[in-house]
Chains A and B, each alone.
Chain A
Amino acid sequence: MRTLLIPVLCAVVIVALLPLIAGYIVLVERKVMAHMQARLGPMRVGPHGLLQPIADALKLMLKEDVIPTNADRLIFWFAPVASVAAALVAYSAMPIGPAFQIADLNVGLLFIVAVSSLGIYGVVLGGWASNSHYSLLGAMRSAAQLVSYEVAAGLALVSVLLLAGSLSMKEIVQAQLDQGVWFVFYVPFGFFIYLVASIAETNRAPFDLPEADSEIVAGYMTEYSGFRWALYFLAEYANVIVVAGVATTLFFGGWLRPLTRYHDHFPGTHVELLDVVPAFAMIALALYCFRLAPRQPLRVQKRVMAAAGVKCVLFAGILFAALFGSDAVREGVHGAFWFLAKVGAYIYCFMWFRFTFPRYRFDQLMRLSWQFLIPLGLVNVIGVAVAIVLRERWDWNPFFSLVPTTIVTLGFAAWLTADKLELSGTDEDIAAESAAVLPGSGE
């Protein structure tokens, strides 16, 4: 029974906390967007909008629920449930630090990829059940986009598996510890392909064609209202965290601290110098909260801000206390901190891209995957394989064996983009193209 304790505890905590975390990611996204556009974003509900996600959740619970008469009621009801369940189950093989994991499967990565792809059933069924043109078009686009980028993402994962030699998420992190380097430095192209593919798979801007509001209203979610819509939204953000977790584990060393090989201690103790960084970062955050608290306009807002500061102090205390616990406790707590910090950084990049790049056209999106990322992924896999043969057979230095193959891959990418991609065609090109496809549409 004791072996089941931690996994079941993790399961309950994930199911209970994930909706809250997704809500706060939405808040952070709105704040980041606002500041990038020189606005303030949510400021009213709680200090700096800190209570906005809770207010939103309550509001969505109380919203009227409309189901179109032509809709297929049973599938309409089932589709968002399938989306959320698939997105949540994908967490079961994700190692949040060495201690917190629901199940350490020997096929962990394959399991995550397989289960998170099941979420598309929720999208397609929802779009079909709505019996609306916009919904079905959004669902079809979403399916086409997901399957196209699934291949590219798979090829990016293979390049990491070549180096790690295991599908278990824990062993992939262990391999990065043993080889002394995060795999993003060994296979930069694998990371690049996975980054682009993961944005496309989670339907986020600039690849948010399935829910492009200027074209097809809200895509597969058009007919959904109230809490059903909230479930789709939750599934979307849960999927973002899943791909961020996979990228963190595969390319950024999972729960490993940066500079893992630097082991200097404080004199006379077992505490490593760099291990105090998380605790101090939390204290800095707490001080920032305490500084903001008296400036809030209302007494309630002052108190909420101070409570946020106290929570940061509490986290700092836990991180600090863990330093003096046994090795397992220290690695468990600090591993979870570093894992979540890296996932947060990856999600921040997602937001950054969303507010930086304009949306792609659908044909550009398909061309990017089939004519650029997939051939590039294949060449990248072959390049990494050649580098490993050089290393094993002729004893090349692991890092320098990858330099020539990476340069070849870069050259291939340049050749692909030079005359094949045409993502940024001039107006005359586009006019000629559409004239060729649709005779009589020109002047």
Chain B
Amino acid sequence: MPAQYIPILIFAVLAAAFPIVTLIAAKYVRPESKAVGAKLEAYESGNPIEGSARGRYSTRFYIIAILFVVFDVETVFLFPWAIRFGQMGLYGLETMLVFLGILLVGYIWLYRKGALDWL
């Protein structure tokens, strides 16, 4: 492991320890919880709870997740290209235009299918 990651490791341990230690400390400071009955139910604006929350959800969320994978992978491909772009010049521009062009066709198809509309 490169030496520069050692401070990050120390920091990560500190960063994880901070909330854990304060949570445990708070346990000894605060009064014991005496909650009973409706106070221990999930909050639904005072109404009796309607079944489990882990039911079925709008497929829109899944479509967004799939679209994210496609477009985020594309962004990740752009990162190394952007770093080395100064050395590649016109050749780098042409190749990336081809790549983005293919993606653009997909984007237009998605748009016309209505996949980008929430409603």
Interfacial residues, chain A to chain B (CB-CB below 8 A) = 3-4, 7-8, 11-12, 14-15, 19, 61-71, 77, 80-81, 84-85, 88-89, 91-93, 102-105, 110, 128, 130-136, 140, 143-144, 147-148, 150-151, 154-155, 157-159, 161-162, 165-167, 217, 222-223, 226-228, 231, 362-363, 366-367, 370-371, 374-375, 378, 381-382, 385-386, 388-389, 392-393, 433, 437
Nearest Cβ in chain B — how far from A221, in angstroms? 11
Nearest 9 pairs between A and B by C-beta? Answer: A132-B42, A7-B7, A88-B15, A363-B118, A154-B75, A147-B68, A161-B82, A11-B11, A227-B26
**B15 lies within 8 A of A136 (CB):** no
Given known pairs A69-B40, A140-B57, the reply for A165 and B11 (CB within 8 Å) is no
**A161 lies within 8 A of B79 (CB):** yes
Q: Is B111 an interface position by the 8 A CB rule?
A: yes
**B15 lies within 8 A of A165 (CB):** no
Chain A contact residues: helix, strand, loop or mixed: helix
Interfacial residues, chain B to chain A (CB-CB below 8 A) = 3-8, 10-12, 14-16, 18-20, 22-23, 25-27, 29-31, 33-35, 39-45, 49-50, 52-54, 57, 60-61, 64-65, 67-68, 71-72, 75-76, 78-79, 82-86, 89-90, 92-93, 96-97, 100, 104, 107, 111, 116-119
Nearest Cβ in chain B — how far from A78, in angstroms? 10
Neighbouring B residues of A67 by C-beta, 8 Å? 40
**A8 lies within 8 A of B10 (CB):** yes
Given known pairs A150-B72, A231-B23, the reply for A144 and B82 (CB within 8 Å) is no
Across the interface, A158 reaches (CB within 8 A) one of B5, B22, B75, B97, namely: B75
Nearest Cβ in chain B — how far from A362, in angstroms? 6
Chain B contact residues: helix, strand, loop or mixed: helix
Known: A132-B49, A161-B83, A223-B42. 20 other contacts (CB 8 A): A15-B15, A64-B30, A69-B40, A77-B23, A84-B19, A89-B12, A131-B54, A135-B42, A135-B53, A140-B57, A144-B60, A148-B68, A150-B68, A155-B75, A217-B43, A223-B43, A226-B30, A367-B118, A388-B85, A392-B86
